[in-house]
Amino acid sequence: MSTVKSASSVPKVLVVDDDSDIVELLEYNLTKEGYSVLTASNGRKAIEIAKSFIPDLILLDIMMPQLDGIETGRILRQNQDIRNTYILFLTARSEEYSEVAAFDVGADDYITKPIKPRALMSRINALFRREAQKADSGDQIDILDLSINRKNYTVTQGGEKAIVLPKKEFELLFFLAQTPNKVFNRDELLQKIWGADIYVLERTVDVHIRKLREKLGDSYIKTLKGVGYMFSNEKE
């Protein structure tokens, strides 16, 4: 049964794949679930459509003509209007370096083909359910010189101009800052941020921590070797 009930709040999905059979399969199942769907057969067209459609979710292949999925994802994440859009890679590429590259450009999930429609729909519905649950929790954390605002996915540091973070980087920072000085291992963070129904590499956490440190500095998130990560509320 579909999780999409209200016509005024129907999530929008952009399907990007050069295989017309896969596009047709995904479009059929998504529409059946109640989603609004547009499609593109290459990366350049996907970027063009996304700018006006502003999808809530993009299903993105890697191996495509004109512009591959990794570069397409990178360009999409640079668009401020699409920074909160979920990006799920659906690809035949199963090697680890492709998966790492996908998460490095801001993927929310990475699923290898062949596609199992029912399982895919379950994962997509779970993403939107978690989003609704997060909206009901607190919207802002003020700690040290950081103001972390969940409404617009921004972090203000020292009263300076707000830094806009990609969705998963923001969620990771927000989660750690909620319980400062508590250490979480990679598996716990994967479960909390990506969800139990999504399989991603543990290295994905390291990539997102690295990106946060590049933007905010090294003094906030500490590494306990062999254990995990924590947000430190003690100034150095």
Specify the pLDDT at position 26: 95
- 3-class secondary structure per residue, 26-40: HHHHHHHHCCEEEEE
Specify the pLDDT at position 6: 37
Q: Which residues of the chain have pLDDT under 70?
A: 1-8, 130-138, 196-200, 235-236
Q: Report the C-alpha gap between 95 and 226 in whole angstroms.
A: 25
Residues 99 and 185 in one domain: no
Specify the pLDDT at position 8: 43
Residues 116 and 145 in one domain: no
Specify the pLDDT at position 128: 79
Specify the pLDDT at position 156: 94
Cis peptide before 114 (omega within 30 of 0): yes
**Sign of the alpha-carbon dihedral angle for 149, 151, 152, 153:** positive
The domain tally of the chain equals 2
Residues 27 and 124 in one domain: yes
Residue 229 tokens read as: 């990560």
CATH at residue 193: 1.10.10.10
179 falls within a domain: yes
Specify the pLDDT at position 148: 93
- Structural domain range at position 39: 11-135
Specify the pLDDT at position 161: 81
177 falls within a domain: yes
Residues 73 and 189 in one domain: no
Residue 1 tokens read as: 């049964």
In terms of pTM, does the model score above 0.95? no
Identify the burial level of 126 via C-beta atoms within 10 angstroms of its C-beta, where 0-12 means exposed, 13-18 middle and 19 or more buried: middle
Specify the pLDDT at position 168: 87
Residues 203 and 116 in one domain: no
Phi, psi of 138 (to 5 degrees): -60, 150
Q: Report the C-alpha gap between 63 and 100 in whole angstroms.
A: 15
